[in-house]
Structure 1
Amino acid sequence: MYDDVSVERNASYTAEFLKTRLGVFISILLGYSCYYLTRNSLTFTAPAMVATRTLGLDITSIGVITSIFPLCYGCSKFVSGVVGDMLSPAIMLGGGLIATGFVNIAFGFSSTLPLFCLLWAMNGILQGFGAPSCAKILTSWFAAKERGTYWGMWNIAHNLGGFAAPILAGTAARMFGWNWGLWAPGLIAVTVGIVIISTLRDAPEDRGFLPVEPEISKANNAVSSSKAEVQKLPLMQNLIHNVLSNPFIWGLAFTYFCVYVVRQGITSWSVFYLIKEKGVIDAGSAAVRVSGLELGGLLGSLIAGKLSDAYIMHTSGGAVGKRIQIVICYLFGVAAMLLAFRAVPSGFATLQAVIVFMIGFFLYGPQMLIGLCGAEIVGRRSVGASEGFLGWVAYLGAANAGVPLSLLVQQYGWGAFFAALLSACGVGILLLLPLTRAKSYLQRK
């Protein structure tokens, strides 16, 4: 259980503070939704690009492009998370969004595979500014006992952006040409990024409010000196001392790898699976069915956050371990829904859509909670480094959902594809078992 300091502060929030914090939350929600929109724009434009014969692309070409992105994104997320602990997260969030918008626009003007790869690599680098910035802002504005709920609510940015991507990018590409599948998301991102830089602030102190949860409280005076010394560590020493030396971080990281293999595999290849294996007539129809993944993820994230907060508040023990137990239950659900998605007959379109919805429900809960656990298991000054490291490992997993899975499908069929995703679920569950009693940073101090 958490100490009483954050509880007292929660009860004393002023109306002005709550109004300001709501504006902050809306800003990071919309901002990261736009990051996700520009990240997924290629996924739902790709079928139109393959159909455009003048581009000379095939499914393997798309796999090459999509594999480059997560490698660059993961490295960028790592570096920006570590370096970002010294920078303004609001500026990083808005500036990165503007830049990724311009890269999407430039992609729409391109026509060769090498240039596509270069620009999508640049997009991956710029996308890395988003999540660590939002994580720092969330941990600054929201206390521990409410953080799971609000982190889950913020996590629906993935789903809002993912839901909008097939509708906006896919529809624009189909109606006006593949170029507009990139141009439309890019223009929206630039506009929102400008608004964020103009209005968003990093922490309550920047608006004249008290911190919601100071790491050094009256209850922790005995360790305040040593904690202050840790906070003054240089970047690399901070990373090693507070993040890489923590065995729980490594367990979370390898589990994140597995979760992102499944997540990116479903996101990148489910449209092609429905067309090739289930007889869906075109990419537009398949994209509409797949959009249910994000709607299910939205609901699953919200419920996972609420469940984990309630579990922590009403039971004793390690707070991080309580959230991990929820993650394990969700991963069993992912495995069950993957089996159902493979088994459902071709003619049952509604059932396919429902199953995709449930895959999203169970998949995005772990994706959200693992990131939250990574933030809570380290101190506030190391949140960016922790999230950056976890994100880097996660997107190594996502990279394995590009070319490796495309080759697996070409060589052994879609059955091997689903076997790989189910194996990732199983490994993730095994990795989490030793973490079911883990305590948060505040509980340990």
Structure 2
Amino acid sequence: MQLRVLVVSVFKGGSTYAPDVPKYSREFLTRRFIVFAGIIVGYSCYYLTRNSLGFAAPVMVADKSLNMDITNIGALTSIFPIFYGFSKFASGVLGARTPAHILLGSGLIATAAVNICFGFGTSLAWFSVFWAMNGLLQGLGGPCCARVLTNWWASGERGTYWGMWNIAHNVGGFLAPIIVGTVATKFGWRWGLWTPGVIGVIVGLAVLFAVQDNPTSLGYPAVEESVKEEKPTEDGTAGDKPSLLDLLIQNVLKNPYIWGMALTYFFIYVIRQGVTSWFVFYLITAKGVGDAGSAAVRVSGMELGGLVGSLIAGRFSDWMILHAKPGQGAVGKRVQVVMMYTLGVAVALFSFWSLPGNLPWLQWINVFMVGFFLYGPQMLIGLCGAELVGPESVGASEGFLGWVAYLGAANAGIPLSILVKSFGWSYYFGALIAACGGALLLLAPMMNLKSHVQREEAKLKLKPA
């Protein structure tokens, strides 16, 4: 069946609402589907090679020849986010001049090779070097996918597809324990690293052939008219392309709304990491759940809820844009959805805190709802950041947002553990709910925010003919 896509192509001058309803050709839709499948499978494999150590680690500790304990594993897992956060920021900026599909595919091949090399190690120093390298390479994935999504899907449909792409996080997170855990247990921890490495090399090569940066590189028309980033010179000709530093400073760091999105992301990732890191401990220590296995079952609905929530959030934000009134901002519509979801996170957290420990099914449903509401903002804030800047700055914007987000994730570790140890779990939930409040305060001024395309078209209308 041919897919019929609704697209809002223009919000001209912020005062005239003129939606177009184009029909894409069957050939274009087929090619775009291949691109979409490529970024989903590719990013799922990034997650597979990112999470491999976590599920091979118990077998590594059991290997007496390595002389490793849980502290050594903890050191390795602490190294990764430091390099990953920096990498996501740097790759978003430095990769703006490199074709996204080249970075995406070659980055996956490189991180797969690191997994393979890791499997040949015998010392903590070897493991530390290669796991730090893995962190540096993993940051290539997200910003590249953001650039591809921005180029192949217009604003009125982008939220739906961004939400569907976001399930790559869940797919990779689901496959890692099955593939790595099973292989490592049966054949040894080295095969637990080699197997995702081999898979990553194969998929990386496929990504290089399947994914293309934008439709125009294949001879198709652009899905959405965009305003070029090149500044005209005095004689009316196009000037030189802005430098990477200019893209970062002028379009990202000097944009107050990007900072607002970044700080909101900080709070969202405090909540996300705080939930995934501490819910099991909370159930055991505060609700009397007998063991970690039983507690893990009760929180297993998080990823499923997140998958459903992100899909609905993307589709709902597209619907709001398609039904917007004249003069309303496209990004602002997505911000309104983020605010609804963030309020839902606060309610779900309070509900989980209040539930007694002898209602496992209600706890599972409650955790599902936490995931449902939490993954919507996690997905949409990245999309908002992409739509606030021009095409050449999307990678830089996503990299900056990702870097600030992982600073938030880092603050969900030791700070929350100190809070729980010193004051109890009520302060833990109070901190997470307060983070929801902080996010809502930051988002409130952006409820009618216009996209980069809208703002530039408004400027063009003001210029004399």
Task: State how many pairs are aligned.
Answer: 439
Cα contact 1:44–1:287 (8 A) shared by 2: no
2:342 aligned to 331, 348, 366, which one? 331
- The change in CA–CA distance for 1:394 and 1:322 in structure 2 (over 3 A counts) is same
CA drift of 1:85 comes to 1.1
Q: Point out the structure with max Rg over C-alpha.
A: 2
Please list, as runs of the form range in 1=range in 2, the aligned pairs for 1:95-174 lying within 5 A after superposition. Answer: 95-110=106-121, 113-173=124-184
Which range moved further: 432-441 or 335-344? 335-344
Question: 2: distance between equivalents of 1:200 and 1:130?
Answer: 13
Q: Counterpart of 2:291?
A: 281
Give distance in 2, aligned partners of 1:176 and 1:228: 64
Residue of structure 1 aligned with 2:441, choices 420, 423, 430: 430
Match of 2:321 among 312, 323, 337: 312
2:9 and 2:225 in contact (8 A); partners too = no
Cα deviation, 1:90-127, whole Å, max 9, x if unaligned, reads 01111111222233344445465554443332222111
Q: C-alpha offsets along residues 333-362 of structure 1, whole Å, 9 cap, x if unaligned?
A: 222222333344444333333222222111
Task: Decide whether aligned partners of structure 1 residues 186 and 346 sit closer, same or farther in structure 2, where only a CA change above 3 A counts.
Answer: farther
Specify the code of the residue in structure 2 equivalent to 1:254.
L
Root-mean-square deviation (CA, aligned residues, Å) is 3.2
CA 1:39 to 1:419, structure 2 compared with 1: closer, same or farther past 3 Å?
farther
Contact 1:163 1:295 in 2 (8 A): no
Is 1:3 the equivalent of 2:10? yes
Shift of 1:7: 8.2
Alignment of 1:39-78 (within 5 A): 39-45=50-56, 56-58=68-70, 64-78=75-89
SS of the aligned residue for 1:351 comes to helix
Deviation at 1:68, TM superposition (A): 2.9
Change (3 A) 1:196 1:301: same
Kept after mapping to 2: 8 A contact 1:63/1:406: no
Partner Cα separation in structure 1 for residue 122 and residue 352 of structure 2? 35
For residues 245 and 321 of structure 1, the distance between their equivalents in structure 2, rounded to whole angstroms, comes to 19
Aligned counterpart, 1:342: 353
Cα 1:339/1:404, change in 2 over 3 Å: same
Residue in 2 aligned with 1:15? 26
Q: How big is each residue's C-alpha offset from its partner over 1:163-222, in whole Å with a ceiling of 9 and x where there is no partner?
A: 2234334454555555555444333222211211233221112222111113149xxxxx
Unaligned 5+ segments in structure 2 are: 1-7, 457-465
Other-structure match for 1:255:
264
Indicate the larger mover: 31-40 or 382-391: 31-40
Q: Which moved more, 1:137-146 or 1:258-267?
A: 258-267
Change in Cα spacing, 1:63 to 1:195, as seen in structure 2 (3 Å) is same
- Which SS does the other structure have where 1:202 is aligned? coil
Deviations 1:50-97 (A, max 9, x none): 777875534x66554444322211211111111111001101111111
What corresponds to 1:80 in structure 2?
A: 91
Q: Does structure 2 retain, via aligned residues, the 8 Å contact 1:66–1:402? A: no
Q: Which has the higher helix share?
A: 1
Secondary structure at the aligned position of 2:166 is classed as: helix
Show the counterpart of 2:209: 198
**SS of residue in 1 equivalent to 2:332:** helix
Query: Counterpart of 1:186 in structure 2: which amino acid?
Result: G
Evaluate the alpha carbon distance shift between residue 216 and residue 431 of structure 1 in structure 2; reply closer, same or farther with a 3 A threshold. closer
Aligned identity (percent) is: 57
Q: Which amino acid aligns with 2:360?
A: A
Deviation at 1:308, TM superposition (A): 0.6
The 10-residue stretch of structure 1 (348-357 or 39-48) with the greater mean CA deviation from structure 2: 39-48
- Are the counterparts in 1 of residues 280 and 292 from structure 2 also a CA contact under 8 Å? no
Task: Indicate which of 297, 300, 324 corresponds to 2:309.
Answer: 300
**Kept after mapping to 1: 8 A contact 2:9/2:224:** no
**1:231, distance to aligned residue in structure 2 (A):** 7.5
Amino acid across the alignment from 1:334: V
Moved more, 207-216 or 128-137: 207-216
- Farther-moved stretch of structure 1 (86-95 vs 417-426): 417-426
TM-score, with length taken from structure 1: 0.87
TM-score, normalised via structure 2 length: 0.84
SS in 2 for 1:85: helix
